[in-house]
A and B are shown apart, each in its own frame.
Chain A
Amino acid sequence: MAEKKKQSNKSLKMKSEIANMINVTHDPVLFITILTILLAITMFIVLPLINILKESFLYEGNLSLHHYTEIFRLTYNKEIIFNTLKLGIVVSIISTIIGFLFAYASAYLKMANKKMLNAIAILPIISPPFVVGLSAILLFGRIGLISRGIFGFENAEIYGFRGLVLVQVLTFFPVAYLVMVGLLQEIDPSVEEAARDLGASRYQVFSTVTLPLMVPGIANAGLLVFIQSVADFGNPMVIGGNYTTMAVQIYMQGIGSLNMSGATALAIMLLLISVFAFLLQKYYIGKKSYITVTGKVSRARVLIDDKKIVKPISIIIILISILVGMMYILIPIGSFVKLWGVDYSLTLDHYKYVFNIGFKPIYDTTRLALIATPITGILSMIVAFLVVRKKFLGRTYMDFTTMLSIAIPGTVVGLGYVITFNKPPIVLTGTGVILIIAFVMRSMPVGIRSGMAALQQIDPSIEEAACVLGADSKKVFTSVTLPMIKPAFFSGLVYAFARSMTLVSTIIFLVSAKYSLLTVTTMSQIDQGKIGVAYVYSTILIVIVGSIIAIMSYALKKMGTSTGKIDN
């Protein structure tokens, strides 16, 4: 009986899928859009991964496990995997603790300068991923301002594990902070008041209510940091020294020793690690959230102003903030210093040098990023709209692949692109097109998620109303949906631009003589020991990103006043 029912349910489902599909073909614009996007996702997200996988099982033209056995045969490779995992775990634990401290302070404590916390969280987004590494060398390295200048250490060693931990923690703890501060603010204060009322001391409230409620959030933040840490390419490249991680080794082997197939097996391993962490976060821990249960926050939280609690936490936060601030403030300063560690006199030499070799990297990067930004923005909103509002065959595929691509490390994508697009049928390597595609594919997933979040807040009946009044899918999207999700659209644009300008890992595989990109140029300057020049490029990069973001948010503020109120 049950079996029969299952069967009929199945065929019913089938029928409705087919009906949906036929429905979609009645609307040609919609149909073509869906097809194009599915094709693009397949080509630029799925196909490169499949090619890596295929390549990793081929050795001298035959199906073989050679590349994998090679990994486990060589102690060096095993060490690299161990290094990556160790770094990821240590960094995610420390970052989560610091992030929690910041989040707790922001949501619970009566403190001045709370805006500073958010400012610090934004810094890593607008700067390329290796600047903290670079600054760490100049502060704590052999020629470091603090290590040698203040403490007089002759042989301070920043390269390696400890340096990497420091640098990654400072870069990634804001991720943990942003995840947790949102959740802490959603805890209903009356739940904690209830505990207090039933006889719990302030510490007992924290340990028996706040902390248990935050366990899923903490695990979430930790895993997200872990994914970022194992995927990080810039910092290990700059400051890793002999401590090699998988992301770096994939590049070294693929581009450095031109052993693409050797790199593929390692890329698959890295992919598995981060996808595993991502799925764990998404489907296991994500489901355990308690926060939604408590529902609407009933009244504002009474902030803790007890000096015994506020003071020590403030001091720790201020110290960490100063450290983070120093890392970034050093960039413009360093661009004017003659020779760090030796001659601290100010000079414009580095700028002259950059002006002499030309603006090409600056111009190329900005142009390509500016082309990629609107494409990313519009594409993200269309995908978000399709996934949230439309029913069609391939919807789950579209949703899942774009979401999963958040977890795919940039070096893996880069390797996949090189393997896939440097030989017919499609040759794209060396062109600007592949760079733009890389920019779009790397920043689109986040845009899609924020678009989906915005759409889920909007009552579908508003769109249905437009439809009833005679608008087709295209008209509904452009005249109703898009205006309503304008804030998400613009913040998506800002993110896409910043992300494109600062991207290193993927595009380092794709640059050519024709296009030189700022981040890659900066990396090679660091490699050549031209720290001052690297700082000039970084400064210019941050100024460009910062000013474009400022212009965009100003424009958004001017236009966005009418859209802020729609949330049913």
Chain B
Amino acid sequence: MKKGISIKDMTKIFVINNDKNVVAVNNVNLEVQPGEFVTLLGPSGCGKTTLLRMVAGFETLTEGKILIGEENVAKLTPDKRDTALVFQNYALFPHLNVYDNIAYGLKLQKLPKKEITERVQKILDLMKMNDFAYRVPSQMSGGQQQRVSLARALVMEPGVLLFDEPLSNLDAKLRIHMRDEIRKLQKEVGITSLYVTHDQSEAMGLSDRVVIMKDGVIQQVGSPKEIYQRPANSFVANFIGRANDINGTIQSKTEEGYVIDIKGITYNVKSDRKYSVGDNVGLIIRPESIIIGKESYKTVVTKSIFMGENHEYEVNWDGKVIQISQSNPFGKIEYELNQEMSIGFDESSLHLL
């Protein structure tokens, strides 16, 4: 039975000593729909793991509520919650083989032997792990161990599946492979998932929605596309991908947004934010959205690196550093250091903060 998660006014304060507290999670509200895959993304120390561990039941809440389905679980111990957690370091039982690791939770539920065998077998089939069902964890690679860890959680058919940076101990290639596998399995099983990571490509590749956190506070919740193209603030813009922060002035209001003046050139920018005419505003433009050769502004090249699939430039624009990424550099003019470069902005990719 897939269930939703509803987090209400959640706060977690760690008391270090008598006069020092750390607010790890600060008044967080979050709704996860049944069957949805939501990722908590942020730099280390942002409170994402603490939040996840509170949902799992390993940390107590200082304030607030957690509903899983209809039930308030804030006071329940981890074993009484309808959640299953996939650990960063796999946390397999080293004294049990793969089969017994997967069957562990079912045995605790005192299910009939036949049902246990069937359910374990189903998961082994689903994850194509029949070949090493009787191996012990020490005989397996990290990737295999993490698959067992995932199988051990999935077999419980929990209302909510939790992931604590499950791929961070794997090498780069395996990480991508496992990422795709997790996404595929999650879609197949349709299980509600809450996933913690500090890796933006993981968050982008897996999630229905991404939650960006910083210093215990949610910065933005949205689909990967929204987060990338419509970041709520400069932190989000810079955390997901790279971004150029530029300044402009509101010249007039339009139906869908504003006319904004950036150094003498005006742009029509869509936005639903509230500004008045004459306000100084911040805008974001991604390096790949800057058009080289459009004669809007004059800059000087300060860095030029050929990366293969794209060419990375840094230019000085009246004292401000602007990053530019030119995709498919094949056959295009290559700028040298200290050479003058004219750039322009594509109006539709300007995002008003």
Residues in chain A within 8 A of chain B (CB atoms)? 188, 190-191, 193-202, 204, 208-209, 212-213, 290-291, 293-296, 298, 302
**Across the interface, do B93 and A194 meet the contact criterion of CB distance under 8 Å?**
yes
Cβ-Cβ contact count across A and B, 8 Å cutoff: 79
Bound-state Cα–Cα, A234 to B77, Å? 51
B95: interface (CB < 8 Å):
yes
- Our pick among A196, A204, A212 for the contact of B95 (Cβ within 8 Å) is A212
Q: Please indicate the chain A residues that have their CB under 8 angstroms from the CB of B138 in the complex.
A: 290, 293
Q: Does B257 contact A (CB under 8 A)?
A: no
Q: Please, which residue of chain B has its CB at the minimum distance from the CB of A291? A: B94
Partner of B93, one of A195, A291, A302: A195
A193:B95 contact, CB within 8 angstroms: no
CB pair B91–A193 under 8 Å, yes or no, is yes
Within 8 A of A (CB), among B237-285: none
CA distance A208 to B105 in the complex (A): 11
Question: What residues of chain B lie closer than 8 Å to A190, measured between beta carbons?
Answer: 87-89, 91
Q: A191-B94, A196-B79, A213-B95 are in contact. Are A204 and B85 (CB under 8 A)?
A: no
Chain B residues with CB below 8 A from A198, complex form: 79, 84, 104-105, 108, 152-153, 156
Contact A293 B79 (CB under 8 A): no
Please state if A191 and B78 are interface contacts (CB–CB under 8 Å): no
Query: Is the beta-carbon distance between A209 and B78 smaller than 8 angstroms?
Result: no
A199 lies within 8 A of B79 (CB): yes
**Contact flags (1/0) for B304-320 with A, using CB distance below 8 Å?**
00000000000000000
For chain A, what secondary structure do more than half of its interface residues adopt (helix, strand, loop), or is it mixed? helix
Cβ-neighbour of B108 out of A188, A199, A290, A296 (below 8 A): A199
| B137 in contact (CB, < 8 A) | yes
Identify which of B77, B89, B109, B137 gathers the most chain A CB atoms within 10 Å of its CB: B89
Q: With the chains together, A257 CA to B132 CA distance in Å? A: 65
User: Who on chain A is nearest to B136 by CB?
Assistant: A293
CB within 8 Å for A193 and B58 given contacts A198-B152, A200-B79, A298-B89: yes
Most buried by B among A188, A193, A194, A290: A194
- Does residue B83 face the partner (Cβ distance < 8 Å to A)? yes
Do B89 and A193 touch across chains, with their CB atoms under 8 A apart?
A: no
Known: A191-B94, A290-B94, A293-B94. A197 touches B84 (CB 8 A): yes
Q: Determine the residue in chain A with the shortest Cβ distance to B156.
A: A198
Given A199-B108, A199-B109, A213-B94: A193 and B88 within 8 A (CB)?
no
Q: For the complex, is B56 an interface residue (Cβ under 8 Å from A)?
A: yes
Chain B residue numbers with a CB within 8 Å of A296 are 89
How distant is the Cα of A173 from the Cα of B57 in the complex, in angstroms? 36
Nearest Cβ on chain A to B138's Cβ, whole angstroms:
4
Neighbouring A residues of B56 by C-beta, 8 Å: 197
Most chain A CB within 10 A, of B79, B85, B104, B156, is at B79
Residues of the A chain whose Cβ atoms lie less than 8 Å from the Cβ of B89? 188, 190, 295-296, 298
30 inter-chain pairs at a CB distance below 8 angstroms, sorted by A residue, are A190-B87, A190-B89, A191-B91, A193-B58, A193-B85, A193-B87, A194-B85, A194-B87, A194-B152, A196-B57, A196-B58, A197-B56, A198-B105, A199-B79, A199-B105, A199-B108, A199-B156, A200-B108, A204-B108, A209-B93, A291-B94, A293-B94, A293-B136, A293-B137, A294-B91, A295-B89, A296-B89, A298-B87, A298-B88, A298-B89
Residues of A within 8 Å of B58, CB to CB, are 193, 196-197, 302
Residues of A close to B120: CB separation below 8 A: none
**Whole-angstrom distance between the Cβ of A285 and the nearest chain B Cβ:** 14
Bound complex: CA A200 to CA B92 (Å) = 15
Give Cα A201 to B110, complex, Å.
13
Task: Name the residue on A nearest B78 (C-beta).
Answer: A196
A189 nearest CB neighbor, chain B only? B91
What is the CA–CA distance of A200 and B95 in the complex, to the nearest angstrom? 16
Residues of B within 8 A of A188 (CB): 89, 91
B93 engages A191 (CB within 8 Å): yes
Supplied contacts A198-B153, A199-B109, A298-B89, 6 more A-B pairs, CB within 8 Å: A190-B89, A191-B91, A197-B84, A199-B105, A201-B77, A202-B77
A residues less than 8 Å from B57 (CB atoms): 196-197
Distance between Cα atoms of A197 and B78 in the complex (Å): 5
Q: Which A residues lie within 8 Å of B84 (CB)? A: 197-198
* Chain B residue at smallest Cβ distance from A211: B95
Chain B hits for A197, CB < 8 A? 56-58, 78-79, 83-85
**Which residues from chain A contact B77 at a C-beta distance below 8 Å?**
196, 201-202
B-chain residues with CB within 8 Å of residue A195 when the two chains form the complex: 93, 104
In Å, the complex CA distance between A302 and B93 comes to 19
Q: Which of B88, B94, B149 has the most CB of A within 10 A?
A: B94
Bound: A213/B156 CA distance, A = 23
Given the complex, which residues of A lie within 8 Å of B137, measured CB to CB? 293
* A295 partner residues in chain B, CB cutoff 8 A: 89
A213 and B138 alpha carbons, distance in the complex (Å): 14
Q: Could you tell me if B104 and A290 are in contact, using CB atoms closer than 8 angstroms? A: no
Q: How far is the CA of A300 from the CA of B94 in the complex (A)?
A: 19
The answer to whether B91 touches A194 (Cβ under 8 A) is: yes
CA distance A209 to B95 in the complex (A): 8
Q: Which A residues lie within 8 Å of B92 (CB)?
A: 191, 194
Chain B residues closer than 8 Å to A212, beta-carbon distance: 95
